[in-house]
Amino acid sequence: MPSFVVDIVGSVAAFLTTICWLPQTVRIIKTKETSAISLASQAIFASGVSLWLAYGFMISSWPIIAANFITLLLLIMIIFLKLKHG
């Protein structure tokens, strides 16, 4: 497997698992509906993403830092909306 293929697969993976929370955030803002969303899942996920962010700083990996920083911003918004709308 050529290494640029591996890099592309990893980059597309990171891109998708980062921007995927945008439709969820937009949906909640539009519908104000959050009852089906598990606060436990979102809280554990946000804790994990925070640790990935710390890990990114520890190994000085800018792709890990950037991807997890954006994910964390979207998650904080989802958790805020969940706490607001219940």
What are the residues binding a copy of itself (CB under 8 A)? Answer: 1, 5-6, 9-10, 12-24, 26-28, 31, 33-38, 40-42, 44-45, 47-49, 51-52, 54-55, 58-59
Contact between 14 and 69 under an 8 Å Cβ cutoff? The reply is: no
Nearer to a copy of itself, 15 or 80 (CB): 15
Q: What is the DSSP letter of 32?
A: -
DSSP H stretches of helix in 3-61: 3-19, 21-31, 39-58
Minimum distance between the CB of residue 73 and a copy of itself, rounded to whole angstroms? 15
Q: Which amino acid is at 75?
A: L
Minimum distance between the CB of residue 13 and a copy of itself, rounded to whole angstroms? 4
